[in-house]
Structure 1
Amino acid sequence: MRELPNPLSLFTESLTKNKPMKKTMSERIAPLQKILQEKMGRLQINERAKAKPIEAPAVQTTKASPISVTWARHQDEVKEAQRLRYKVFAEEMGARLKPSAEGLDVDIFDNFCEHLLVRDNETLKVIGTYRALPPHQAKQMGCLYSDSEFDLTRLRHLRHKMVEVGRSCVHRDYRSGGVIMALWSGLGQYMKKNNYEVMLGCASVQMGDGGHYAASLAKILSTEQHLTDIEYRVFPRLALPVEELNSSLEVEPPALIKGYLRLGAKICGNPAWDPDFNTADFLTMLRLDDIHPRYAKHFLAD
């Protein structure tokens, strides 16, 4: 794809010459961020402790298993997840995160989330993580992370039974099917234990090629087979400019999205463009009732 110019720069230049520039992601979500910061300032330190406790079961593993899956029990374990996130997102993928002396990826949602950890049983290092924002904590927070990227109006009636998952990553030396399946099994047990019905989250696609791969993937995923029903569609606040990109490439979905689709997840509409992470984000929804029978036994195992 070297012969193709970076269409995002052409898109920006054309807007500059012909009409006012579209607001950046930061400008678009600034009002929301201001509200969240004010809300955080009013919260008491002990409010999180008052929240209804969540029973987050550990994934059952044998003594011989090379990995184990647990939920973070204290702040030191949360920091282990944040350190892995920083290593993957900032150091490996080049995301523009807030500078951190400790090398941590931290945002205002972390204190409201449960953090799922996969450890190497030999080194005891955290090698994979997800975070989960349950309904009562999302209500306490005032919004979901996805609200900053999408208009979720059509999903409003699902919020009381919906868990938002995100910040998923696996250490580069451990990117095997076993680690991601262990994470999914942990999430599935968590959903089942707490009687939640819907899992929502952004599946991110890197845009190192200028966005052509993401645009071609968006075209593939825009079929009835992969999309949610119309009543569950969302709308990106800063849409990936697919029309300015080459969307005719023959591409395969990345492993994470392919895995979601196999489980029975659906794509909620067109992707958003996240300039900070340089990704195209596809909002993905999985209803537990729609999990493919082939995977339900493992995903929802007790």
Structure 2
Amino acid sequence: MPGKCSPRYKARYGAGAQDLRAAQALRFRCFRGPGDGLDHDDFDALCRHVLIEEEATGRLVACFRLLPLTSGRAIRQSYAAQYYELSALEEFSDPMIEIGRFCIHPDAKAPADILRLAWGVVTRDVDAEGAGMLFGCSSFAGTDATLYRDTFALLGERHLAPKRWLPRVKAPKVVRFAGRLRKKPDPKRAQSGLPPLLRSYLMLGGWVSDHAVVDEDLGTLHVFTGVEIAAVPPARARLLRADAAQMA
């Protein structure tokens, strides 16, 4: 069961319809804008939902969902498979976990603490499931790819998936990374354009698809992102497990 590795926040699994609605309301706020709507889909019923709340007030500040898969043979059951052709990953023999709908309330303080706590939860689930890979869709705000030319060029130059796992194009509207810039990407602009979750993935040795999907429904661009657990640098793995241990 999740707990806390930050004095400000605590994490727990959702329990029942009220928690799910709270998560869906926060997702609506983060992905679709202010309002009283709910962001929901059929995958909600299949997933384990994680809620991160302020310790003092109980206010929900972040949430995400986890979908365990027995192996790559089940990859077509994932949310990401709607947008990416993932047949190469069907050869992955170990259990996998898909991370989805990760969001942090725009008014939340100390987002780095929230992200650290979220990774503590994920680490515990990875160990409990014996997962060999984490994956998901990392979202960029908006659908204007020109805002992320340097970032996409950097991803295409340094962080593409290994050829044996590389996702192929499936969605009708995509932005290919090849040729995004004729010159080297500006490192500062490239790094500033990385969403925090994707930056964390890359620090763990993660990789991405060679294209971004234009998601008109959510008003985002997203890239398939994966990290093989065996490839996580040992020092980072120790830090993650130390955080996870504090959550007992």
TM-score computed with the length of structure 1 as normaliser: 0.70
Q: What's the C-alpha RMSD, in Å, of the aligned pairs?
A: 2.7
Q: Tell me if 1:157 matches 2:101.
A: no
1:159–1:295 distance in 2 versus 1, CA, 3 Å: same
Structure 2 unpaired stretches of 5+: none
Is 2:128 the counterpart of 1:193?
Answer: yes
Amino acid at match of 1:86: F
In the alignment of these two chains, the number of paired residues is 234
Rg larger for: 1
Report the equivalent of 1:176: 111
Alignment of 1:91-102 (within 5 A): 91=33
The corresponding residue for 1:108 is 42
Shift of 1:172: 0.9
In structure 1, what is the Cα distance between the partners aligned to 2:65 and 2:131? 15
- Does structure 2 retain, via aligned residues, the 8 Å contact 1:185–1:299? yes
Q: What is the aligned partner in structure 2 of residue 119 from structure 1?
A: 53
Residues 219 and 247 of structure 1 are in contact (CA less than 8 Å); yes or no, is this contact kept in structure 2? no
Distance (whole Å) between structure 2 residues aligned to residue 229 and residue 178 of structure 1: 31
Residue equivalent to 2:214? 273
Q: Deviations over 1:123-174 (max 9, x none)?
A: 2011111101111599899621111110001001227511111100001122
Check conservation: 2:10, 2:54, Cα contact below 8 A. Answer: yes
Q: Which of 17, 21, 29 in structure 2 is aligned with 1:79?
A: 21
Higher strand share: 2
Instruction: Find the aligned partners of 1:124 and 1:163 in 2 and give their Cα distance.
Output: 27
Which range moved further: 170-179 or 236-245? 236-245
1:252 aligned partner: 190
Contact 2:150 2:190 in 1 (8 A): no
Shift of 1:110: 0.2
Q: Is the 8 A contact 2:9 2:54 kept in 1?
A: yes
Q: Over residues 90-123 of structure 1, what are the superposed CA-to-partner deviations in whole Å (9 max), with x where a residue is unaligned?
A: 115xxxxxxx9x5211101000000011100112
Q: Say if 2:48 and 2:66, in contact at 8 Å, map to a contact too.
A: yes
Give the Cα–Cα distance (whole angstroms) in 2 for the partners of residues 141 and 151 of structure 1. Answer: 10
> 5+ unaligned residues in a row in structure 1: which ranges?
1-56, 93-99
Residue identity in the other structure for 2:128: K
3-state DSSP of counterpart to 2:174: coil
| Among candidates 183, 198, 202, match of residue 261 of structure 1 | 202
Q: 1:274/1:58 Cα in 2 relative to 1: closer, same or farther (>3 Å)?
A: same
When structure 1 is superposed on structure 2, of 120-129 and 211-220 the one drifting more is 211-220
The percentage of counterpart residues that share the same residue type is 20
Moved over 4 A (4+): 136-142, 241-249
